[in-house]
Amino acid sequence: MKASQKAPVTVMAHLVAGYPTDALAFAAARGLAEGGVSFFEVQLPFSDPSADGKSIQTACASVLSRGYRVDDGFAFVSRLRREFPEIPVFVMTYGNLAFRRGIENFAGRAAAAGAAGLIVPDLPFDADEGLDAACRARGLVSVPVAAPSMTDSRVAALGALGRPYVYAALRAGITGASTAIDGATLAFIERISAGTARMDGNLPRTRVLGGFGIRTGEQSKALKDAVYAVVAGSAFVDAIGESAPRGEGAVHSAVLAKARELTGII
């Protein structure tokens, strides 16, 4: 893909830092970049995830078995920023890792690594342990997660915060299984979009990131006009895991093919 080309579908691609090795993880990152993804979402491996399905849980366990640490994850983010400066990186983690280091310290470390923002799904927007304030102080964005179970009043409360991004989890449960993009899914996205729209003309509309179970090009195309970016994770993690025994070239090729499918690049 040429630098001047824009992918038909804006995709945020989820990577588990260091999975299954640093070399193979960067082979995957190259495939994602060449496949036209617009954002990286880098997960810091954690032993007790609350939202991840089997694929990502297995990937995290594999990386942690090597003695991988939070600092290694931030080093991974720093290298991504050096090698792919045109692709913003959002760090995804769980509250335990951020709280253990101190929320402000964690946000500072993310900023120093070059991250654009933090996604912490188990810290709700109205009880985030100071995450948003720590991010704002360091030039980061904190991305809250909205689920289909959210009441209209909570959606309105979220919208009143005026966050630049909100992650819409397209169904309840854990990641991995395929999600049907149907009328109910699109209605949920519209509810989040309408509820978080900024009314001040000097500020941009909140950008909705939509994910959970996005595995095919058909799904991403069905979502592209409803969300700012389509988020895909397990599809890439599976491609990495299946091709890893054949080396860096195989990982690159497998991830590149999946990225092109999801971004709509021929």
Just list the catalytic residues. 41, 52
Instruction: Give backbone dihedrals phi and psi of 146, rounded to 5 degrees, phi first.
Output: -110, 140
Residue 122 structure tokens: 């188990």
Residue with tokens 């929320």: 103
Rounded to an integer, what distance in angstroms lies between the CA atom of residue 217 and that of residue 21? 27
**Considering only CA atoms, which of 79, 83, 66, 81 is closest in space to residue 19?**
66
Cβ atoms of 144 and 124 closer than 8 Å: yes
- Strand ranges across the sheet with 141-143: 141-143, 117-119, 89-92, 39-43, 11-16, 229-232, 207-211, 165-169, 145-146
Residue 22 and residue 76 in contact, taking contact as beta carbons nearer than 8 Å: yes
CA dihedral 136, 197, 208, 54 (to 10 degrees): 80
Q: How many other C-beta atoms can be found within 10 angstroms of the C-beta atom of residue 67?
A: 7
208: helix, strand or coil: strand
